[in-house]
A and B are shown apart, each in its own frame.
Chain A
Amino acid sequence: MANPPGAREEKQERKTATTDPRKKASFTVPVAKGLINTLKHILRREPNTIHYPDEKRTPYPGYRGEHRLKRDELGREKCVACFLCSTACPAHCIEIVAEEAPWDDREKRPRLFNIDMMRCIYCGMCEEACPCDAIELTPVFNIPSRTRAEKIYDKEKLLSL
C-alpha cells in the first residue's frame, strides 16, 4: 500500500525526536539496582516455599475451590433445580433431577444434584449463573481422594460442606 504524501517525512521527524534522548541514556544504574535486589533475595533468611501440607497458604479472596450448596435460614437447600448452573457449565459436570418441593414457598427442588469434581474446571460459571445464590465455590483446594467415585459429590455431600 502506498503511504499518504508527507508520511515519510513525518516518520523521519518522529524517529529523530525519540532516538535523541536515548543516546545519552546509561544502563549502568538500573542494572546495578536490579543486581542489588537479586542479592537481597539470595541473602534472605526465610525461604519462599512453605512446608505443605504442615503449613497451608491462605488463598486470596475470590479463590475458586470446592463447591458447596447453601442452605436458607430454615435449613432447607436454597437450590430450586432450575438447571441454569448445568446449562452454564462448560464441562457438563453437573447432573440434576428435579422434583416437586414439599414447601409452600417454592415449586421445585433437586432430587439429585451431582457434581463430577474430576470433570469440573473450577471456572465459577455455575456460581455466576445461579439465580438463587444457592451454589458457591469455597476456597478449599486440598481435596484429594482415593477413588474416582468419591469425586462425584452428591447433594448431601455438597450441602454438608
Chain B
Amino acid sequence: MKRRLLSGVLGAVLVMVGPAGCGIPERSAVQTDHRGPAAETSWSLGRGSEPPNREASGSDAEAFVRNFLAAAAGEPDRAYERVKQFIAVPERSGLQVKQGSEVALSVVRLTDDPVIEQDVDSMKVTIAVQQVGLLRTNGMLVPPLATETTYEFRLVNAGPAGQDDASFYVSSPPNVLLLSDEALRLYYQAESIYFWNSERTRLVSDLRYLSSAVPAERRVSEVVRWLTAGPSDWLRVGVSGLPDRTEMINNATGSDGRWEVNLDMPGADDVRLEQFATQLAWSLLELDGILEIKILNQSRKLVDLGEQRTANQLYRLDDNARRFCVYEGAIHALAVANESIGRVPVAPAANHDVVSAGLRRAGDDVLAALVVAGADGRQRLNVGRGRDVVESFTAGPLHTAIGRPVWLRTGDQPAGLVVADGELYRFDGRAAMYPVQLGLPGRVDAVAAALDGHRIALIVGGALHVAAISWEGGVPTIGPTRRLATSLTRLTVVDWWAESRLLVAGAAGRPAIYDVSIDGALETRLRDDAGAEVTHLAAYPAAPTSPLAGTFMYEANGVIYRNNPFERIVREQVQDVAAPPAGVRPGNPTAPIFLY
C-alpha cells in the first residue's frame, strides 16, 4: 500500500509539475546550425585610381604643386585627409575641415604655369587661376563662389637639409580644397545622367563627376543617388526630378550583370517605374544586364538595361546628316569625301538671297528657317515647312542683321531661336518673332540648342552661358542662365556638338575652336589656329557610333572648313552650281549647315 501511495503522490506531482516544467527555457545552450557563408574569393571589380601622394613628385616642385592641386580628388569624405598629407604637420590643424555634404572642392583652371620663387628656406608659389566651379560631394559642379584669381602658398622641404628628394610640404596653404581642371579630367569621370523634362516626354542630360577612386561596384549606387538628389539648379526649370522624398534604401548591389536598386519612391506606379527604368538605363550607359527595381523591398520591375535603351531612344535622330552651305545666295548640298549628298530641301523659287539658314527634319517633314537679305540690305526670316522640299515660306519682320536661326527640337509646334540685332528672339512656324528677355547685360551674339530641345547655349557679351527651356503651352521660356568659365575670350559662335559638350569659337590668343563641357570645366582644343574670327559654326551632335560623330564645319574669313581631317571646303564640292563665267572670280561657299 505504501508503494501505491508513493506512486500516487508521484503521479500527482508529475501532473502538476510535468507540464509546467517543459516550457520555453530561460536560456539554452548554443546550438550550431551549420557553417555560415564564406567569403567569396572572386571579387571581380577592382578599385579605381587615386591621385598621387605627396612623395610621388620627388624633388620636382612644379610636379608637387600639380599633385597638390590633384590631392583633393577622390572620395570626398577623405579629401581633407589627403590634402593634409601635403601640408606641413604643424599647419594641418589650420585647415578648416568641413563634414559630409559641406565638403566642396574649388575647381580652378590654371591660367598660367605656377610661379615658383626660391626664398630663404622655402619656395613661394603663386598660381593664377580661373574659378571654374565648386565640385560638391554629390558630383555636381556648381558655379564658383570664390572670386580669387591667384593663390599663394609656400613649399618647405620635407627631408633634412641637403636631402632634396624627400619632396615638400605645403606651408600656409589656401583655406580651400583646390582641384585643378586637369585633376578633374584625370581623376574624375564626367557621367551623363538623365532627367525627364517637365512633360515627361524626353530625357534631358545632366552632368556629374564620379571619382575614379570609387570602385565600380558602387557606381550604380552613386548614379541612383544623383538621380534621387535631382537635377542641377540651372536645369530645374525644364526638367523634373524623381518624386519628392524619393530615397535609395541602402546601396544598390549586384554583380555579374545583375543589379538591384531598392528605393523608397512615393507614388511609384507602373508608368513612373517605366520612366525611371529608362532614366536609369541611359544614366548607366556603360552597364548592360538586368537591373531589378525594388520599391520598399518589393520587387517591382526587372529592367534589361540594353533593351530598355534600345526601346527608348533618346532622340529620333537622322543618322544620315547632310551637309549644305550657302553659295551665291542659295542653299546647296556639299559633297565631302564619300558621304552621300543631300537634296536641297528648299524649293528653287525661294532659294535666293539666302544669308544663312537653319534646317531641321521633323519626321518626314523638313523645317527651314532662312535668313534672307532684302533689297535694302535689311534681313528677314523666312520660315516654311514641307515634305522633303519646302515650297512656301512665310516672311518675318525685317531686321538689320539676323544670325543663324536655330530650331528647337520639340515634338509638336515648330519653334526656334534666332539672334537679331544683338537681341534674342524666338520664332514660330509662321515666322513671327518674339523678343526673349535674358536678364543679362550685353549683346547676344549666338545661340545654340541641344537635341533634347531643353537646353540652349548663348554667347552674351562675349561670355558663354547655358540655360534651360521650359515649354509652357508650346511656347519656349528660357530659364535662368548660367555663365560658364572658359579659357577662350572674344567668343563669337557656339553650337551643340554632343550631349553635354559645346563647340565654342573664340580667341585663345589666336582664333580658336574649343570643345567645352556644358559646365565649362573641361575644355578640349579642337582648332588652335582658325586663321580668322569664326563666324559660323555647324556641328552634328550625333551619337559616338555614327560615322559623322564629332563632325563640324566652320566659316572663318568667308571660307568654310570641315574637321576630320581639317580641310577647306572648296567651290567644287558645292553641288548643282554652274561653272562661273570665265573671268569672274568664283565665290566661296559660306554658312555651313547640317540637315538632320
Do they bind each other? no
Residues of A with Cβ closer than 8 Å to B?
none
